[in-house]
Structure 1
Amino acid sequence: MDSDLSPSGTHKTSAVYNDVHHAPVTSVLADGDVIYADHEMDADERVIRALGYKQEFKRELSLWTTFCISFAVLGLLPSFASTVYYGMGYAGTAGMVWGWLIAMIFIQCIAFSMAELCSAMPTSGGLYYAAAVLAPPGWGPFAAWLTGWSNWIGQITAAPSVDYALSAMILAAGSITNPGYVPTNWQIYLLTVLILIIHTVISSLPTKHVAQFNSWGSTFNVIALVATIIIIPAMVKTKPKFTSAHEVWSDIKNQTDFPDGVAVLMTFVGVIWTMSGYDSPFHLSEECSNANVASPRAIVLTSGVGGVMGWFLQLVVAYTVVDIDAVINSELGQPWASYLLQILPQNAALAILGLTIVCGFSMGQGCMVAASRVTYAYARDDCFPFSKYWKIVNATTKTPVNAVILNTVLGILMCLLVLAGSVAIGALFSIGAIAQFVAFIIPIFIRVFFVGTRFRKGPWHLGRWGPLIGGLGVAFVALMVPILCLPSVTKGDLSPDLMNWTCLVYGAPMLAVIIWWFVDAHKWFTGPKVNLEHAIHPVHDEPEVSEGVEPGNAQVAADSKGSEKSDETLPK
């Protein structure tokens, strides 16, 4: 539709309108709100504008490249290598195989519910935006505040934790080839910093190059994972080659002070941390073409493929490991390297460890990309101090370079935990698991129990099964949050170096964020901030242009200015 007036009263050669009511989105704007542009919009731009945002990124990602970045963030092989301690270390092989299988059923529920939200709200803000729009009237900003900060904390811990584990594996490989070498914490820290800086450079490149890099990395991840699943059983040097099925599936070797059932639940930390990357397509949706279909499909594809292939890897390790205590307590300082050396000839062990290291590098880079998009999206809505700097999109690369640099600096500081020992740096893994899944579940919880008719399904949806599937996901997270905070020992055995510091390292920032909200932030934070020209009235009424409105209250914001709706209808 053409006209020569913009909402501000100035003339445009070709003003194009998009009625939110006709867009397949659940928006911060009200039905009937009109979006203005000075050019013809394709379907993707109409959707993002109906959500209240300008199209600022180039849409150079497809379903495949979005899946590649997401699968790289998932990084099954390096993720398992980084968290093998939590699987077999808490409950033995039975805990590994049953823990992954049970947890994956509920994780799929969360992934499917998230995909449904993504289809209705394909924006970089993702879960934060969904929580704001779906929350009951008056609660939108607070729901967005909690979701956004929890998600951000989880996102910015991802690359540092991955790169720490990667550094430990690289130096463990050095120990294997040079038995007299024992890595120090300082060496691990400095190598982690170097890898973070390299990932910063790659993540600041134009979207096209980032997509290409992650496509290669994800392809290599799949090849390396399949190769590992085949090579380990084929080249096992131990006699007998495989553990009995009865021992693998039934023998819970409880290494904690808790009952067997709780010990199995504690193994879920590895599954949850490994599978916390499938939300990446949500945050990359503004760079994806056909986003409200391709992005939710990428979420489901990532969680499904990752869940099945990850379980096969669990089975391979469970059937071949010989001495769990030796793996967990090896002087190499890296359980995956210890396991490989225990069951394979040295050259084969080094080959698989090398594959894992390359996959880990790709995974860390994917984590850096996803985290930078989250930081940009929240800074765009002024969530952070000095947001005006972090929300800048680089004019040359068309990527949020400042947000990448901010995340890197924070990651370097967080990795100082390496110097306090393995238990302290291990808190980053639990934080990533808890922070991400708390953020995942807040908008799903609101969608299931409070949304009513305010949720408009996108083209990808769960139909009448949506509330049931979402409810199962909510119940799972409610159970797992306290479990993930438990130490492995209790009472007299508990000491500072064995304490689970997750409650403090995650709880303290979140408590500070909540206090900040009630003391000050509630005065100025209104949730997602509209950054384009729009009007709830037809063009002849000289409508308002809003910089930010409280979610769901665009109608109120416009009417409060004293204008009344016109009975005129917009020409089609």
Structure 2
Amino acid sequence: MSTPRSRARAADSVVLDDDATLHAMGYPRKLTRRFQAFDNFAISFTIINILSGIFSSFGFGMNAGGPRILVFGWIGVSLMVLLIGAAMAEVASAFPTSGALYFSAGKLAKRHKGAWSWFTGWLNFVGQIGGTAATGYAAATFIQVFAQLQWPSYQPTAHQTVLITAVVIVLQGVANTYTVQLVALLNRISVWWLLIGLVVIVGALIVMPDHHRSASFVTHFENNTGFTSGLYGGMLGLLVTSWTFTGFDGSFHMSEETVRATVSAPKGITRAIGYSAVAGLVLMLALVYSIGDYAAVAGAPAPPVRILVDGLGLRTAKVMLLIVIGAMLFCGLANLTSNTRQIFAFSRDGAMPGSRWWHSVSARTRTPVKAVWLAVVCSLALVVPGWWSHTAFTAIVSVNVVGLFLAYAVPIFLRLRLGDAFQPGPWHLGRWGRPIGWLAVVWILLSSVLFMLPQASPITVDSFNYAPIALAVVLLVATVWWFATARRRFQGPVSYGRPDEVAAMDLV
């Protein structure tokens, strides 16, 4: 029978094991290790955020494949993303650091470690900054949809959307400035907000509408993309699920603040994806079977909101919309948290201009406060073009998803190339590691092509997919920078000394 004293000794040994792992990788402990396993899961679950993802992209899916792709595409793509998450989780167990993707890329590469680490880090950084900006913009958009329902005379403008987005991101920055305990608490709340909100919305859509679609409606196909090929239109519809399942590297980035990180972080990644897949399918089915006039819903400014209004009535729909807006705000908050830990770690290894600023930690809160506000400023910089043009804003943040997934692919590929020389952590896939890893890499490459293809016809300045251009600009800048100066000063993840030496540098 365990006593409080024995449990305390066990907890101490866990912390020491975590610290020993960090010291073995060459880093002193500077962050507070207050995230439990549930907190680590919560951050990825919140960033994936099925309410935010599905409500933001459902309308696109209605026109690119319809119910058949929305439902069966969700099932298929979710399984592929789970493979990506499992392959990433195996790497996370071996290298539980805030640097996550770029750190593991540098450690797993046989040659050119600095280059692999450099490009992975910048893809991850740009993808996360774009994600914070895009999530804030989506929240601002739905806040104004609510305002229109509440006050019919209200007419949203581009300027108002940008201002609301800025307020949202700044407030999320303020929340991230305080202790990691507050961030953990907010992420715990967000999990229950999402799950209870899901039950409320799905329950209302089952009970309240006068009519539901027949069971066979799930096979209905629509192609309103403007392209004549139904196959192409349906393939574009797969992006609905891919857009939703991003940011699960958040659990990896929080490793240095998680207890038993070598196990908790990989479990956080895989559980967040698995639970989101199941819960998202339930929400997707509820929305699909509640569609009334298909053409009217598909052509509405916010199709899921139109489904809620038609099926539940205006008053109830507004309550449901508040649940969705709350989920979007939690999503942005968690995304910013993950973003700041990547900046903190990337700067710790000297990869960013002004690195000595961005990897400093507040003595009072034990959080990387300066990294928080760098992430806020960079996200706001991406939002500013929306003041003049929504197309310009979309063009800039379009690198979000493709940048993140390419950053996911690099350490997984390098782990596969390393073969039997890879030393797994306590959480590993065993003999399934290689086949799962190869399937993950192949799917990332295929889905990345989809992300960069035209998504509407006719192709105009407003409908053009700017993701390839945005990605090319990021890679061009990173490449020029690398060959001009970075390759001489950045050799990949650094070590601050032997384990005993870095242990003496611990600040917590």
Task: Report the TM range for the smaller structure's normalisation.
Answer: over 0.9
- Per mean C-alpha deviation after superposition, the further-off stretch among 116-125 and 208-217 is 208-217
Secondary structure at the counterpart of residue 42 of structure 1 = helix
Alignment correspondent of 1:20: none
Q: 1:482 to 1:40 in 2, by over 3 A?
A: closer
Query: Are 1:261 and 2:231 counterparts?
Result: yes
The 5 A counterparts of 1:260-409 are 260-330=230-300, 333-409=301-377
Alignment correspondent of 2:437: 470
C-alpha displacement of 1:254: 4.2
Amino acid at match of 1:212: L
CA contact (8 A) 1:254 1:260 kept: no
Q: Summarize deviations over 1:73-118 as a string: whole Å, max 9, x none.
A: 1221122112223322322121211221111111011000011001
Alignment correspondent of 2:483: 518
CA contact (8 A) 1:158 1:367 kept: yes
Which of the two has higher C-alpha Rg?
Answer: 1
Q: 1:420 to 1:316 in 2, by over 3 A?
A: farther
Q: 1:96 to 1:160 in 2, by over 3 A?
A: same
CA contact (8 A) 1:90 1:256 kept: no
Amino acid at match of 1:462: L
Alignment correspondent of 1:87: 61
Of 211, 214, 226 in structure 2, the residue corresponding to residue 244 of structure 1 is 214
C-alpha displacement of 1:428: 5.9
In structure 2, C-alpha distance between the alignment counterparts of 1:496 and 1:387, rounded to whole Å: 38
Of 424, 444, 452 in structure 1, the residue corresponding to residue 412 of structure 2 is 444
Query: Are 1:72 and 2:46 counterparts?
Result: yes
C-alpha displacement of 1:58: 1.1
C-alpha displacement of 1:315: 1.2
Q: Summarize deviations over 1:453-479 as a string: whole Å, max 9, x none.
A: 331111110000000001111111111
CA contact (8 A) 2:223 2:233 kept: no
Alignment correspondent of 2:191: 218
Q: Summarize deviations over 1:202-231 as a string: whole Å, max 9, x none.
A: 011111121112111221111101211111
Q: 1:229 to 1:532 in 2, by over 3 A?
A: farther
C-alpha displacement of 1:420: 4.3
- Per mean C-alpha deviation after superposition, the further-off stretch among 339-348 and 145-154 is 339-348
In structure 2, C-alpha distance between the alignment counterparts of 1:146 and 1:154, rounded to whole Å: 12
In structure 2, C-alpha distance between the alignment counterparts of 1:429 and 1:274, rounded to whole Å: 15
Query: Are 1:106 and 2:80 counterparts?
Result: yes
Secondary structure at the counterpart of residue 453 of structure 1 = helix
In structure 1, C-alpha distance between the alignment counterparts of 2:350 and 2:89, rounded to whole Å: 26
C-alpha displacement of 1:258: 5.3
Q: 1:304 to 1:429 in 2, by over 3 A?
A: farther
Of 88, 97, 101 in structure 2, the residue corresponding to residue 123 of structure 1 is 97
C-alpha displacement of 1:56: 0.9
The 5 A counterparts of 1:415-564 are 415-427=383-395, 430-448=398-416, 450-490=417-457, 493-533=458-498
C-alpha displacement of 1:324: 4.2
In structure 1, C-alpha distance between the alignment counterparts of 2:51 and 2:452, rounded to whole Å: 25
CA contact (8 A) 2:297 2:306 kept: yes
Amino acid at match of 1:69: I
CA contact (8 A) 1:82 1:162 kept: no
Alignment correspondent of 2:17: 43
Amino acid at match of 2:250: S
User: Which structure carries more relative contact order (alpha carbon 8 Å, separation 6+)?
Assistant: 2
C-alpha displacement of 1:247: 3.2
- Per mean C-alpha deviation after superposition, the further-off stretch among 156-165 and 114-123 is 156-165
Q: 1:354 to 1:159 in 2, by over 3 A?
A: same
TM-score by structure 1 length? 0.82
TM-score by structure 2 length? 0.92
Amino acid at match of 2:385: L
Gaps spanning 5+ residues in structure 1: where? 1-38, 536-542, 548-572
Amino acid at match of 2:468: C
CA contact (8 A) 1:161 1:428 kept: no
CA contact (8 A) 2:243 2:401 kept: yes
In structure 2, C-alpha distance between the alignment counterparts of 1:48 and 1:423, rounded to whole Å: 44
CA contact (8 A) 1:89 1:324 kept: no
In structure 2, C-alpha distance between the alignment counterparts of 1:324 and 1:520, rounded to whole Å: 56
Q: Summarize deviations over 1:304-354 as a string: whole Å, max 9, x none.
A: 001111111111111111234433433xx4333233223321111111101
In structure 2, C-alpha distance between the alignment counterparts of 1:271 and 1:428, rounded to whole Å: 21
Q: 1:40 to 1:337 in 2, by over 3 A?
A: closer
Amino acid at match of 2:409: I
CA contact (8 A) 2:175 2:183 kept: yes
C-alpha displacement of 1:507: 2.1
The 5 A counterparts of 1:159-238 are 159-237=132-210
Alignment correspondent of 1:143: 116
- Per mean C-alpha deviation after superposition, the further-off stretch among 173-182 and 83-92 is 83-92
C-alpha displacement of 1:127: 1.1
CA contact (8 A) 1:273 1:429 kept: no
Q: 1:59 to 1:220 in 2, by over 3 A?
A: same
Greater fraction helix: 2
Gaps spanning 5+ residues in structure 2: where? 1-12
